[in-house]
Structures are given as structure tokens and as C-alpha cells.
Amino acid sequence: MNVLLLGSGGREHALAWKIAASPLLTKLYASPGNPGIGRFAELVKLDIADHSTVAAFCQEKKIDLVVVGPEGPLVAGIADDLRAWGIRVFGPSRAAARLEGSKGFTKDLCAKFNIPTAAYGRFGDLAAAKAYVEKTGAPIVIKADGLAAGKGVTIAMTLEEALAALDACFDGAFGSAGAEVVVEEYLTGEEASFFCLCDGATALRFGTAQDHKRVGDGDTGPNTGGMGAYSPAPVMTPDMTERTMREIIEPTMRGMANLGAPFAGILFAGLMITDQGPKLIEYNTRFGDPECQVLMMRLKDDLLVLLNAAVDGQLAHMSARWSDDAALTVVMAARGYPGTPEKGSVIRGLDEAASDGAEIFHAGTAINGGALVANGGRVLNVTATGTTVGEAQKKAYAAIDRIDWPQGFCRHDIGWRAVDREQTGK
């Protein structure tokens, strides 16, 4: 098969690594890709926003499957447009990607199909939103409805913060994504990421993970796209997994089919495990980044076979097998992240760093004058496996110690919650 992978981050590097291991693969192309992906794929420059350019490339290169990494093109309808040209695509339609593209859509789906989630209100004007917030009080959560690159959520611990967040949203802080706002109940518990591979009718469990959103050790500092992750998530016990499938995922699959928008692709549920059980915080309609990196390290089966089955509606006949090992990834970021990261610093020593079995996925790198340089906020994902999260953690940090990149930084406590559990036996 000829495959085209869209995207440029660590998630796409992990997907490329796994797809390249499939005996079904003839040739992998990636656009735009990155230097790490370039080891497995021919990198091509395509204007991904121009769907007919992508379709023409697919026809010319006889692409059998397009795999879409990020949410932007999915919400913009790339899967529908390529399918209209007869091209097979792994990823949800525009209508199904509303699960990520509109928080209000997802909340209404939850209300209609009885899916446990935080109580909420949906508002298109400031006065009504403020009245609701004043009535409910703080803590409360304010969310821009649309895609806001992970920045559209404010956890307001006071009424003043909540009102300020509403002002910012309606003032255009998130552009058109904030023209509508979801205000919701503040949930407490432990968070987990739950993944399913879906074909429109069947949802196949596809692993669990936990990530670390704050930039600093001890979960301090501003939010980021994710500073590290590990899999599996210990909080997702067999019972919690069954409940999540029955109470959240299956009603979502039925609900989307019912609305004429069956979901095919990766359904990524952000969950809060509360004392009443799992509640949906939000959906994403693609793999998490960096969660994908740890999932790919543990997946024993051929990813391309599974993606094909999802595209062909054949998942009811499939299973996915996972290694019993834990996997953990630490994000190395460029100084300045999550503000403005410094670009262009030289990174050395990756081959030596990977010599003890770690996989180093590139998230934001470029080649400049023959040298590997930082070219983004999150730059490398240093990933390892072990019989415990603690062992995977040790191997990942040992690899980081061998990387020569003074301008990079990382958190030093990725996996702390799981390692604590392993040590205390709770």
C-alpha cells in the first residue's frame, strides 16, 4: 500500500514508525513531516488546507490510504473532500469531527443521549453567560466553543476570574472559536485519556494514558499541549473501562449514527474519574500528542491492518493486542515554551541517547546546514518501555541525560502518580 500521512509532530512520527513496520506498506509519504519522519517517509510539501491539491497528489502517487494526524484538517472536512475523489481516508468526516470542533455540540449530544458529563450552559451572548455564572458561582469552567489550540479553557476558581474569562472570549481572544461559550460545572477526580478505534458502528478499545498538561514539575505553571504521558492509566481498571464503554463511548457511537454522522477514526475521550464514576470532560477526534507515542510503543498488532479495518467498517471482526509493559514519554521543549520558544539551537547525541532501547520521536525539529535544530515548542519525545512505569521512567530520563541540547528543558517528574502507586502498592 502507498500511504500519505498528514502532520508534523511527535504523534505523526510515532504513527510513521508504526506504519513503516507493517508488511503491507509499499511506500510512505508524509506532508509536511519532520526530520524524524523523514527516516521512514518521503516528505512532500503540500498545502493541506487546499484539499484538491492533496487529492491530486493522491491520484498521481496512487495513494491507497490517507492518515490524518491533527484535528484542524478534519474539522475543515478533509476526509469528506478526499472521499469525494474516491480516496480512502482514516479520520472522521466534518460532521463527526464536530465532537472536537464544537464543545457545545458535544455537550448537547451528552444531554440528548444521557452521557455523564459536567452540567453546563451554552451561550452566544455575554449578558446571558454572565447571568448563568453569577447564579452558579465559582469554581466554574469557561470554554470557547471552537478549536483554540488547547488555550480556550479557563478553570475559574473565583467569580471574578470567570467573568474576566467570559469578557475575553466575547472580546475575541480566541477569534471565531470564542463567539460561543460553554460554561460548565467544575469536576474533581483523576483525569485519564481513553482511546477507541472506530469504524462508524464499532468502537474498539485502543488503550489508555495519562498526560501532564502543566509546564513545571509538581504540576505547576501554565498549561501546555502536554509535557509527557504514560500508558496504561492505572485509574482505568477493568471495571472503569467497562463503565466508560457502556456509559460514554457506546451511547456516543449510537448517538452520532442517529444524527447521521457516524464516527470513524480515533475517538479520544478525556475523562474525569469522579466518585460517581467516569465523566466525559471532552472529546478529541484524533490521537493525543504525546499520548499516541506511548500507545504506539505498546501496540503489538499491525497498525495499518487496524486502520484499514476501521476505514472498511470491519472492526467488529478485529482485536488489538497490547504489550503488558508500560510506556512513558518525556517531552523536551525549547526554552520559552509554552510562550515563544527559541528556535534554531543545535541538538546532538540522539543516536547515543537511543542506544539503550529508547525511541526518540521528533516533535518540532528541522535540519539547518546539516545539523538537527529545534524548530518548535515541543521538540523531542523521549520514550521508553519497562515492566513498570518506574522502569520506563528511569530509561527515558537516562536517555535524556545523553542528549546534548543545553537550550532544551523537560519536566523531571513525568509519571509521578503511577510511580507513587507502584511504590506504595495502592
Q: Which of residues 196-255 bind ligand GLY (CB under 6 A)?
A: 211, 225-226
Task: Please say whether the dihedral angle defined by the alpha carbons of residues 284, 290, 292 and 294, taken in this order, is positive or negative.
Answer: negative
Residue 260 grid cell = 447521521
The rounded radius of gyration (Å) of the Cα atoms in the chain is 21
Interaction partner, residue 281 (ligand AMP, ligand GLY, none; CB < 5-8 Å by kind): ligand AMP
Helix (H) or strand (E) holding 23: none
Distance CA 33, CA 364 (A): 10
Q: Is 80 or 291 the residue whose CB approaches ligand GLY more closely?
A: 291
Distance CA 5, CA 41 (A): 9
Least separation, in Å, of the C-beta of 371 and ligand AMP?
34
Interaction partner, residue 184 (ligand AMP, ligand GLY, none; CB < 5-8 Å by kind): ligand AMP
Q: Does 100 bind ligand GLY (CB under 6 A)?
A: no
Q: Which of residues 153-172 bind ligand GLY (CB under 6 A)?
A: none
| Cβ-defined contacts of 242-250 (< 8 Å, 24+) | 243/277, 243/278, 244/194, 244/269, 244/271, 244/278, 245/203, 245/205, 247/115, 247/116, 247/277, 247/278, 248/115, 248/116, 248/278, 248/280, 249/194, 249/196, 249/203, 250/203
Least separation, in Å, of the C-beta of 291 and ligand GLY?
6
Distances (CA, A) of 328 to 143, 228, 382, 405: 30, 7, 8, 21
Of positions 71, 81, 100, 282, contacts ligand AMP by CB under 6 A: 282
Q: What angle do CA 11, 17, 23 make, to 5 degrees?
A: 135
Least separation, in Å, of the C-beta of 116 and ligand AMP?
12
Q: Does 291 bind ligand GLY (CB under 6 A)?
A: yes
Stretch that binds ligand GLY, among 32-40, 283-291, 323-331, 406-414 (CB under 6 A): 283-291
Interaction partner, residue 186 (ligand GLY, ligand AMP, none; CB < 5-8 Å by kind): ligand AMP
Interaction partner, residue 76 (ligand AMP, ligand GLY, none; CB < 5-8 Å by kind): none
Of positions 83, 213, 335, 394, contacts ligand AMP by CB under 6 A: 213
Q: Is 213 or 412 the residue whose CB approaches ligand GLY more closely?
A: 213
Phi then psi dihedrals of residue 228, to 5 deg = 165, 165
Contacting positions for ligand AMP (CB under 6 A): 118, 141, 150, 153, 155, 184-187, 191, 213, 270, 281-282
Contacting positions for ligand GLY (CB under 6 A): 211, 225-226, 284, 288-289, 291
